[in-house]
Structure 1
Amino acid sequence: MAEFGFQSPGSFRSYRTSSQFVPSSARVNIHFEMKTSFITLAVSALAVYAAPSSVKRATAIDDATILNFALTLEHLENAFYRDALAKFDEKAFVKAGLPTWARGRFAQIAAHEKAHVGFLSSALGDKATQPCTYNFPYNDPKSFAALSQILEGVGTSAYLGAAHLIENKDYLTAAASVLATEARHVSWVASAVNHGSGWSGAFDVPLTLNTVFTLAAAFIESCPSTNPTLPVKAFPALTFAAKAAPGSTSTITFEGAPADTPLFAVFFTGLSQIVVPIQGGSVDIPKDLVGVVYAVVSTNDTVANDENIVAGPAVLDFEFNSNGQLVK
C-alpha cells in the first residue's frame, strides 16, 4: 500500500478558489490497495473549521454558478491529464505494467477534458473561473490510472447530481452530453486499464455540490483571487479501515462530531442511501454493497444531505467479478 500526503484547502463556508484561504494544516491522504484485478482507492480530505470572516458565502445558485462549478472540475481534470502525460511517456506506461495503447487513450481523454474547458469557458465568457494550482498524488502511471478512475467517477456523479439545478434546457443537454463522456471515461479506465468492473450497477450515484467539492478540494493548492465565489463548502474527512468490506465491521475516523448527537453512516449506492448507526466509532458495512460506494457521516437517520452531513464522503470500491461475486 502506498500513502501520499500533500496540502489542501480547508473547509470554507464559501469558496473562492484563492491562495489566501489555504491553511497549511490541512492535508490529504490517498490510499491505493492493489490486487491482481482490484483497486481500492479511498480519498479523504482532512479539513479545518475556521473560515476567514472576510469570506462571504454565495447563496444564489443559477445556471452560471453551476457552469462555473463544472468548469472548476474540468480545469482540475484538464490539468491532471496534461501534467501526467507530460511526465510519463509510453515507455513509462509499459514499464509500469500498463498496455502499450493505454497512454494513447489517456491522451484522447485529455483532449476531451480540454474541449470541456473550452466549451464551458466560451459559454461563461468573462465570468468564467480560471484554473488553479493543483497537486496530484501519483508517482507512476499505475497510480495515475487509479486516481483517474476516481476523478472520472466523481465527475460523472457531479454532473448527475447538479442536473436538476440547471434551468436552461440547452445547458442541460450539453451537461448530459459531457456526463455521458465522463461515464465512458471511468468505465474504460476501470475495466480496460485497472482490470476491474466498468460499472457498479444499474444506476450511478448523484452527488451534491458540497460532497463533490469536498473531494475536488483535496487536489487544489491555490487559485486566482479574482475567481467567482461558489456556494460550496468542504466537509471534514471520513476514513474507513484499510480492510473495510461488505458484511464486516469497520472502524471509522473523522473530526468535528457534534457532542451527544446520534450519528449514522450513510452509504450512497446507485440512487439509494443505506443508513447504518455508528456505535463506538465503528459501523457495520451492509453486506450487499458492490462497486463504487460513497459514504458520509450524518446526523439524520433517514436521508443524508448537505444540511446534515458531518464528514465525508469517503470513496469505497468493492470490486466484483463477472459472476457478481466480491473480489476478496
Structure 2
Amino acid sequence: MRSLTLTSFAVASMWAFALAAPSQQRLPQADHILARRDYSAVPSVTTTTVAPSVITTTTSAAGFAATSTVSQSYNSNNNNNNNNNNGYDQKKKDEQKKIDDQKKKDEQKKIDDQMQKKKDDQKKNEQNKNQYGQNKKDDQNKNQNKNQYGQNKKGEDKKVNYVSKKIISSDQRQSADVFFPGFQHQANSGKNSADLFVLNFALTLEHLESAFNREGLSRFKNKDFERGGFSRYIRDEIKIIAFDESTHVTTLISVIESSFGKGKAVSPCRFNFGLRDVNNFLAIAQILERTGVQAYDGAIRFIENDDIKNAGAAIATVEGRHSSFLNILSHRHISDGPFDAPLGVRSVTSIAASFIESCPFEFPVQPFDVLEIRNIRVRINTEIEFRVSGYGASDFSSHFCAIVYGLSQKRVGVKVRNNSVFCDIPTDLRGFSSAFIFLVNADADVSVEDDSHVVAGPTSIDIIDSIY
C-alpha cells in the first residue's frame, strides 16, 4: 500500500487533463490558478491511504477548497475549449464552402465563355462562308470563262480593271527609240533625250484620256446621266475635264515639235474602253485621272529642261483636281492619302494597257502580268487573296507583296494556304484610303527607277477603315 498526497494527485490530474484537451497543450486558466496558489500556507496536509478495497481520505478545509477550485477551473476551461473548437470548425467549413462556391462559379463561367466563343466562331464562319459563296457567285455571273480583269472578244463588254496580260501591239512597228530615246540606258539619241521620252509617254496618256472623254460624252447625254442618278451639272463638269485633256494634247505636241522637230510627237493609239453605262464611264474616268497624276509624279524627276518640268508640274496639278472630283462621284475620299504614289513607266503601262488595242509605234515597255485580287475593298489587319494566271500557289512561297501607299511602301511575306495565296494588310496603311499591290520576288523596294523584280501588278485596293 502506498500513500500519495491529495495535492500532488490533484496537480498530476490537472496536467493529465491539460495534455488530453483537443488542439491545446496547456490550460491557460489552470496555470494562472496554480501560479497564485501558496502551498506553504496550507495548515495541514491531506493524506490518502490506498487499499485494495477502501480509500480513506483526510482533508483539511484549505486543501478541499484548493482541489475544488482546480476542478471547477478545469470544467470551465473544457467548456470554453469545446465552444472555441466548435466555432473554429464552423468557420473553417464556411470558408471552405465559400472557396468551393467560387470555384464552381469560375468553372461555370469558363464553360459559358467557351460555349459563347464557339457560337461566335460558328456565326463568323457562317458569315465568311456566305460572303465567299456570294463573291464566287458574283464572279461566275460576270463574264464567265473570261479572265477576271477582262480579255474580251471584240464587240463584247469589257470589265473595268487596272492591269492586263495583253501585249501592246504595233501597227507600223516604228522603233520605240524614235519617240522614246534613252529609255533604260539605251543609246542616247541626242541632247535632252530623256525629256523627249517623258513628253511622248505623257502624250500617249493624254491621247488616251482625251479619246475616252470624247467617246463618253458622245454616247451618254443628259438623260443618260439623270438615269444613272447624276444631274446635268455632272455632265457639264465632264465637258470641262474633256476640254482640259484635249488642251494637254495640243500643248504637248507643240512643246515636242518646237523642242525636237516635226514628226517627233507620237500619234494616238487605238483604244477600246468597253463603255456600258454612265456609272461604268465615271468609274473608268476615276481610274484614268488618278493614273495620270501618278504618271506625272513618277516621270517628272527625269525631265532635264526646267521649262518642260514646270509645264509637267502644271498639268499634274490639274489632273489631281480631276481625280478628286471623280473620287467624290465614286463615293471615295477626296484624296487617297496625304501623298500620291509615284509610278514608273511599266507600272503605268500595266494600268493603261487594259484600254489599248494597238499603237502606230513600238511601245517602249510591256505590261506586267495580271495580279488578280479576290476582293479589293479591304480592312487593316486583314488579308487579301490573290492569284496570277499561269502560276500555281507554290510558285510564290518565297515571294513578297510590295504595298505602295503615297511615298512609302511595306513588304509582307506571301502566305500559301490550301493552294491559295494571301498577303496581310498592315497597320502602316492607316491614313490612306487606297494603295497599290505588287507581287515581287525579292525583298526590295519597287521604285520608279527599278521594278525589275516585279512579277505582277500593280492592282489597286481600297482601304475602307483607314481614317475613321
TM over 0.5: yes
Which has more radius of gyration? 2
Contact 1:28/1:44, CA 8 A, preserved across alignment:
no
Contact 1:240/1:252, CA 8 A, preserved across alignment:
yes
Q: 1:209 aligns with which of 345, 355, 358?
A: 345
The answer as to 2:326 corresponding to 1:170 is: no
Q: What are the superposed Cα offsets for residues 10-50 of structure 1, whole Å, 9 maximum, x if unpaired? A: 9xxxxxxxxxxxx989x99745xxxxxxxxxx523124699
Structure with higher strand content: 1
Q: Which moved more, 1:135-144 or 1:176-185?
A: 135-144
Distance 2:298 2:163 in 1: 20
1:60 corresponding residue in structure 2: 182
- Name the structure, 1 or 2, with higher relative contact order (CA <8 Å, separation 6+): 1
Distance 1:209 1:159 in 2: 10
1:314 corresponding residue in structure 2: 459
Contact 2:168/2:358, CA 8 A, preserved across alignment:
no
Residues 1:297 and 1:275: Cα distance change in structure 2 (over 3 Å):
same
Contact 2:198/2:302, CA 8 A, preserved across alignment:
yes
Distance 2:237 2:300 in 1: 28
2:440 corresponding residue in structure 1: 298
Q: 1:250 aligns with which of 359, 384, 396?
A: 384
Number of equivalent positions: 293
2:334 corresponding residue in structure 1: 198
Residues 1:85 and 1:218: Cα distance change in structure 2 (over 3 Å):
same
Distance 1:175 1:200 in 2: 21
Q: RMSD of aligned C-alpha atoms?
A: 3.2
Q: How far does residue 302 in structure 1 lie from its aligned partner after superposition?
A: 2.9
The answer as to 2:113 corresponding to 1:113 is: no
Distance 1:278 1:77 in 2: 35
TM-score norm. by structure 1 comes to 0.80
Distance 1:262 1:120 in 2: 44
Task: Tell me the SS of whatever aligns to 1:44.
Answer: coil
Residues 1:49 and 1:300: Cα distance change in structure 2 (over 3 Å):
farther
Q: How far does residue 189 in structure 1 lie from its aligned partner after superposition?
A: 1.0
Contact 1:70/1:159, CA 8 A, preserved across alignment:
yes
1:236 corresponding residue in structure 2: 369
* Percentage of pairs with the same residue: 32
Contact 2:378/2:464, CA 8 A, preserved across alignment:
no
Q: Structure 2 stretches of 5 or more lacking a match?
A: 1-137, 184-193, 258-262
Name the aligned partner's letter for residue 451 of structure 2: D
After superposition, residues 119-158 of structure 1 pair within 5 angstroms as: 119-125=251-257, 126-158=263-295
Contact 2:271/2:357, CA 8 A, preserved across alignment:
yes
Contact 2:404/2:437, CA 8 A, preserved across alignment:
yes
Residues 1:120 and 1:205: Cα distance change in structure 2 (over 3 Å):
same
Residues 1:265 and 1:96: Cα distance change in structure 2 (over 3 Å):
same
Q: How far does residue 135 in structure 1 lie from its aligned partner after superposition?
A: 0.8
1:45 corresponding residue in structure 2: 164
Structure with higher helix content: 2
1:286 corresponding residue in structure 2: 426
Distance 1:96 1:49 in 2: 33
Task: Tell me the SS of whatever aligns to 1:306.
Answer: coil
Contact 1:158/1:212, CA 8 A, preserved across alignment:
yes
Distance 1:201 1:112 in 2: 24
Q: Structure 1 stretches of 5 or more lacking a match?
A: 11-22, 32-41
Q: How far does residue 261 in structure 1 lie from its aligned partner after superposition?
A: 7.1
